[in-house]
Chain A
Amino acid sequence: MSTRADAWPAGGMQPDWTLIVAPSTEDEAGRESPLASLDDGSLVDACLGGRIEAFDVIVERHQRAVYQLCFRFVRRHEDAADLTQEVFLRAYRGLRRFRGDAALGTWLHRIGVNVCLNHVSARRAPETALDDAPQIAAAGDDPASSLAKTEQGARVRAAVARLPRKQRATLILRIYQDLSHKEIASALGTTVGAVKANFFHALGNLKRLLAEEAVGKS
């Protein structure tokens, strides 16, 4: 069904109003659409309309990204799972405030960064133990190479944890979450210029911290 006013036949009577059809989660027969086929905006509408199961689909769709974000900040599986739950709970409570200016994923990242930064501010960041790092070697890796990668990953993680808050958030969102500078600016409530400057300084500090750590070991 077309809703465009210019779809009326030329020369015929044209209404002086424009028909606006609100997005519906029902098909033409009045049946509820399968939620998994809806986009994020329609899922939010369905959820606000009382279909709580629409939020389950939002969770299924975004839980990996939110978990990975949280894990980058806290570096512990249990804490990351707890924080992921907290992020989605806050999103659910504030769903009416989601205006759709940014993508739902960006909005969730924004909540996630706030939750994670509050969490790591409230408690001292744990020192990264090698035991916390992934231990499963990729098939074909020799043990020595696998151990070296594991150690280097732990060193990088510890260095990222020592970055200032905004630099740390910017680096995580850009390198590990693959957000654009514009999305990061939206998530952090800042400008694209500030995001690029923070990213530049974050990478400079990361390189310096890793170099200092290497010198300290040798």
Chain B
Amino acid sequence: MKHLSPGQIVDVAEGCAAPAFIAHAANCELCRAKVGMLLDAVRLAAEDPPHDPSPLFWPRLAARIGDAVRREQAPASSWRPWTWRLAPLGAAAVLLVIAIGVGARFRAGAPVAPADVQEPAAAASMLPPGEGQSGADPADDPSWLLVSDLSSELSIDDAEASGALPMPGGADRALAHLDHTERMELARILREEIAAQTPPASQGPGA
């Protein structure tokens, strides 16, 4: 009979081998030596006792794992990650609507050729007849209603993180890109707004 395989040696050492293998190990010096080596190694390995921390450690570890599991669960049910994912989209929508609204306002006030006043279909459909005229209440402007609606869920932090806030010097750069007609129109709007905001009572005798 050939010698026992490693698996059969293990079975003999653990006392669960078939009788034929046990009989072989009893008579074969080489296989008996292997079984002896195995039992000796098991005894040596068992000389390293288990590391048993303080009994106080286990409740602390369980609490720590429980906290980690709950932190793991929290993001899935939280609304904030959705806000963050939607923030760039919302910011882009806000910028688009502002651009359309400002463009419509310029076009409404400036005497330009018919070819230049063609409005995008979306913007035109948003503006009922008479809207967009200077002097109209901004609260009734559909553009502003859309802006306020889209941005109602957007916090200032989210908008800032998505780059939707004006950067320092941004107004100067925007002014530099206006042509002469646009600057004149801007000046007119500013004069109107300043006049509208200035209460008559605040004007002193020296004003």
Q: Which residues of A contact B53 (CB under 8 A)?
A: 67, 77
Main secondary structure of the interface of A (DSSP, over half): helix
Contact of A92 among B37, B58, B69 (CB under 8 A): B69
A52 at the interface (CB under 8 A from B): yes
**B6 to A63, Cβ gap below 8 A?**
no
Name B43-88 residues within 8 Å CB distance of A: 44-53, 57-58, 61-62, 64-66, 68-70, 72-73
Distance A210 CA – B58 CA, assembled complex (angstroms)? 33
**A203 to B41, Cβ gap below 8 A?**
yes
Chain B, residue nearest A211 (CB)? B44
**B51 to A89, Cβ gap below 8 A?**
no
Q: Which residues of A contact B58 (CB under 8 A)?
A: 60, 63-64
**B69 to A88, Cβ gap below 8 A?**
yes
Distance A152 CA – B48 CA, assembled complex (angstroms)? 7
Give the A interface residue count (CB, 8 A): 42
A81-B61, A176-B50, A204-B37 known; A193 vs B69 contact (CB < 8 Å):
no
A55-B69, A60-B62, A206-B45 known; A201 vs B6 contact (CB < 8 Å):
yes
A64-B58, A68-B50 known; A89 vs B69 contact (CB < 8 Å):
yes
Name A103-141 residues within 8 Å CB distance of B: 134
B39 to chain A, nearest CB (A): 9
B182 at the interface (CB under 8 A from A): no
Distance A85 CA – B40 CA, assembled complex (angstroms)? 35
**B49 to A153, Cβ gap below 8 A?**
yes
B7 at the interface (CB under 8 A from A): yes
Distance A84 CA – B62 CA, assembled complex (angstroms)? 10
Q: Which residues of A contact B52 (CB under 8 A)?
A: 134
**A203 to B64, Cβ gap below 8 A?**
no
Q: Which residues of A contact B7 (CB under 8 A)?
A: 193, 196-197, 200
**B41 to A207, Cβ gap below 8 A?**
yes
Chain B interface bracket (under 10, 10 to 19, 20 to 34, 35 or more): 20 to 34
B42 at the interface (CB under 8 A from A): yes
A5 at the interface (CB under 8 A from B): no
Distance A77 CA – B69 CA, assembled complex (angstroms)? 21
**B68 to A59, Cβ gap below 8 A?**
no
Distance A218 CA – B7 CA, assembled complex (angstroms)? 34
A52-B73, A200-B7, A207-B37 known; A156 vs B48 contact (CB < 8 Å):
yes
Distance A207 CA – B36 CA, assembled complex (angstroms)? 12
**A134 to B51, Cβ gap below 8 A?**
yes
B131 at the interface (CB under 8 A from A): no
Chain B, residue nearest A153 (CB)? B48
* Known contacts A59-B62, A59-B65, A77-B51; 14 further A-B pairs (Cβ under 8 A): A63-B61, A63-B65, A68-B51, A81-B61, A88-B65, A92-B69, A93-B72, A160-B48, A181-B10, A197-B6, A200-B38, A201-B6, A206-B44, A210-B44
Instruction: Show 29 A/B contacts (Cβ-Cβ < 8 Å), sorted by A.
Output: A60-B58, A63-B61, A67-B61, A71-B51, A81-B64, A88-B65, A88-B69, A89-B68, A93-B72, A134-B49, A149-B47, A153-B48, A156-B45, A157-B48, A160-B45, A160-B48, A171-B45, A175-B45, A175-B46, A176-B45, A176-B50, A196-B6, A199-B10, A200-B10, A200-B38, A203-B45, A204-B37, A204-B38, A210-B44
- Top 7 nearest A-B pairs by Cβ distance? A200-B6, A203-B41, A196-B7, A156-B48, A153-B48, A207-B41, A196-B10
**Contact surface of B with A, Cβ cutoff 8 Å:** 5-7, 9-11, 37-38, 40-42, 44-53, 57-58, 61-62, 64-66, 68-70, 72-73
**Contact surface of A with B, Cβ cutoff 8 Å:** 52, 55-56, 59-60, 63-64, 67-68, 71, 77, 80-81, 84-85, 88-89, 92-93, 134, 149, 152-154, 156-157, 160, 171, 175-176, 181, 193, 196-197, 199-201, 203-204, 206-207, 210
